[in-house]
Amino acid sequence: MRSRDGNNDFSLRLCSIIIFNSLALHASEYLISYKYIIEDIMLYNETLLISEAMTKCRGKPYDELVFSKSDSKDLKKIISENSEEFIDFIHKLGLHLEHKETTINLKNSSTTTLVLKTTCFKVDFNDNFVKIAPLK
Protein backbone atom coordinates (compact mmCIF):
# COMPACT_ATOMS: atom_id res chain seq x y z
CA MET A 1 0.00 0.00 0.00
CA ARG A 2 1.23 3.45 -0.83
CA SER A 3 1.67 6.18 1.79
CA ARG A 4 0.32 9.71 1.40
CA ASP A 5 3.64 11.16 0.26
CA GLY A 6 4.30 8.22 -2.04
CA ASN A 7 7.98 7.93 -0.99
CA ASN A 8 7.75 5.49 1.90
CA ASP A 9 9.77 2.82 0.10
CA PHE A 10 12.44 5.32 -0.95
CA SER A 11 12.84 6.81 2.56
CA LEU A 12 13.07 3.31 4.07
CA ARG A 13 15.83 2.37 1.60
CA LEU A 14 17.67 5.63 2.25
CA CYS A 15 17.61 5.10 6.03
CA SER A 16 18.86 1.52 5.70
CA ILE A 17 21.71 2.63 3.40
CA ILE A 18 22.77 5.34 5.86
CA ILE A 19 22.71 2.95 8.83
CA PHE A 20 24.59 0.22 6.93
CA ASN A 21 27.29 2.63 5.74
CA SER A 22 27.78 4.08 9.21
CA LEU A 23 28.31 0.56 10.59
CA ALA A 24 30.45 -0.70 7.72
CA LEU A 25 32.57 2.43 7.47
CA HIS A 26 33.31 2.63 11.19
CA ALA A 27 36.90 1.66 10.43
CA SER A 28 39.23 4.44 9.34
CA GLU A 29 42.05 4.21 6.85
CA TYR A 30 45.53 5.44 7.67
CA LEU A 31 48.74 5.72 5.66
CA ILE A 32 51.72 4.44 7.64
CA SER A 33 55.38 4.48 6.71
CA TYR A 34 58.40 3.45 8.78
CA LYS A 35 62.14 4.02 8.38
CA TYR A 36 64.96 2.64 10.52
CA ILE A 37 68.57 3.70 9.88
CA ILE A 38 71.66 2.07 11.43
CA GLU A 39 75.08 3.63 10.95
CA ASP A 40 78.18 1.74 12.09
CA ILE A 41 76.12 -0.68 14.23
CA MET A 42 74.42 2.17 16.13
CA LEU A 43 70.81 3.27 15.73
CA TYR A 44 70.96 6.57 13.88
CA ASN A 45 67.31 7.36 13.16
CA GLU A 46 63.88 5.79 13.52
CA THR A 47 60.85 7.44 11.93
CA LEU A 48 57.20 6.41 12.06
CA LEU A 49 54.84 8.54 9.99
CA ILE A 50 51.07 8.19 10.31
CA SER A 51 48.39 10.19 8.56
CA GLU A 52 44.71 9.67 7.93
CA ALA A 53 43.99 8.78 4.31
CA MET A 54 42.42 11.62 2.32
CA THR A 55 40.90 9.25 -0.25
CA LYS A 56 39.56 5.73 0.06
CA CYS A 57 42.28 3.09 -0.23
CA ARG A 58 41.78 0.10 -2.49
CA GLY A 59 42.35 -3.45 -1.41
CA LYS A 60 41.19 -5.96 1.13
CA PRO A 61 42.46 -6.16 4.71
CA TYR A 62 44.62 -9.14 5.67
CA ASP A 63 46.84 -10.32 8.55
CA GLU A 64 45.39 -8.12 11.28
CA LEU A 65 47.03 -6.99 14.52
CA VAL A 66 44.90 -6.40 17.62
CA PHE A 67 45.84 -4.14 20.54
CA SER A 68 43.91 -3.84 23.78
CA LYS A 69 42.09 -0.54 23.97
CA SER A 70 43.78 2.45 25.51
CA ASP A 71 42.14 5.69 26.61
CA SER A 72 43.18 7.44 23.41
CA LYS A 73 41.86 7.33 19.84
CA ASP A 74 45.21 8.68 18.63
CA LEU A 75 46.74 5.93 16.50
CA LYS A 76 50.31 7.16 16.91
CA LYS A 77 49.98 7.03 20.71
CA ILE A 78 48.47 3.53 20.62
CA ILE A 79 51.28 2.28 18.35
CA SER A 80 53.96 3.88 20.53
CA GLU A 81 52.50 2.15 23.60
CA ASN A 82 52.74 -1.18 21.73
CA SER A 83 55.82 -0.42 19.63
CA GLU A 84 57.54 -3.80 19.91
CA GLU A 85 54.46 -5.70 18.72
CA PHE A 86 53.90 -3.26 15.86
CA ILE A 87 57.54 -3.38 14.70
CA ASP A 88 57.45 -7.21 14.70
CA PHE A 89 54.19 -7.02 12.73
CA ILE A 90 55.57 -4.75 10.00
CA HIS A 91 58.72 -6.89 9.74
CA LYS A 92 56.43 -9.76 8.74
CA LEU A 93 54.79 -7.56 6.09
CA GLY A 94 58.11 -7.03 4.40
CA LEU A 95 60.58 -4.18 4.56
CA HIS A 96 62.81 -2.78 1.86
CA LEU A 97 66.46 -3.24 2.89
CA GLU A 98 69.33 -1.10 1.65
CA HIS A 99 72.93 -1.59 2.81
CA LYS A 100 75.99 0.50 1.93
CA GLU A 101 79.49 -0.27 3.08
CA THR A 102 82.69 1.66 2.38
CA THR A 103 86.30 1.31 3.47
CA ILE A 104 88.56 4.36 3.36
CA ASN A 105 92.10 4.31 4.83
CA LEU A 106 91.40 0.97 6.54
CA LYS A 107 88.32 2.41 8.29
CA ASN A 108 85.08 0.56 7.60
CA SER A 109 81.80 2.47 7.55
CA SER A 110 78.35 0.98 6.95
CA THR A 111 74.78 2.21 6.71
CA THR A 112 71.74 -0.05 6.77
CA THR A 113 68.25 1.28 6.07
CA LEU A 114 64.99 -0.63 6.62
CA VAL A 115 61.93 0.96 5.05
CA LEU A 116 58.23 0.12 5.10
CA LYS A 117 56.97 1.99 2.08
CA THR A 118 53.79 3.98 2.63
CA THR A 119 51.07 1.40 3.18
CA CYS A 120 47.36 1.87 3.71
CA PHE A 121 46.01 0.29 6.90
CA LYS A 122 42.38 -0.15 7.94
CA VAL A 123 42.07 0.74 11.62
CA ASP A 124 38.98 -0.19 13.63
CA PHE A 125 38.57 1.46 17.05
CA ASN A 126 36.21 -0.64 19.18
CA ASP A 127 35.29 -0.41 22.87
CA ASN A 128 37.75 -3.09 24.01
CA PHE A 129 40.39 -3.23 21.30
CA VAL A 130 41.97 -1.59 18.26
CA LYS A 131 42.33 -3.70 15.11
CA ILE A 132 44.96 -2.74 12.51
CA ALA A 133 45.08 -4.52 9.14
CA PRO A 134 47.12 -3.62 6.05
CA LEU A 135 45.29 -3.48 2.72
CA LYS A 136 46.53 -5.57 -0.15
In a domain? residue 98: yes
Domain annotation covers residue 13: no
The answer to whether residue 6 sits within a structural domain is no
Residue 36 contacts by C-beta under 8 Å, 6 or more apart in sequence?
43, 45, 46, 47, 113, 114, 115
Is 53 a member of any domain? yes
- pLDDT, residue 38, reads 92
Domain count, the chain: 1
Q: Is residue 119 part of a domain?
A: yes
User: 84-91, long-range: CB within 8 Å, 24+ apart, which pairs?
Assistant: 86/132, 87/34, 89/65, 89/132, 90/34, 90/116
Which pLDDT value is given to residue 92?
A: 87
127 belongs to a structural domain: yes
| pLDDT tens for the 136 residues of the chain, in order | 444 555 556 555 544 454 444 434 456 899 999 998 999 889 899 899 999 999 898 889 888 999 887 677 788 888 888 888 998 898 888 889 999 999 999 899 999 999 999 999 999 888 788 899 999 8
| β-sheet bridge partners, residue 131 | 66, 124
108, part of any domain = yes
Domain assignment of residue 51, given as a range: 27-134
Q: How far apart are CA 64 and CA 53, in angstroms?
A: 18
Residue 17 lies in a domain: no
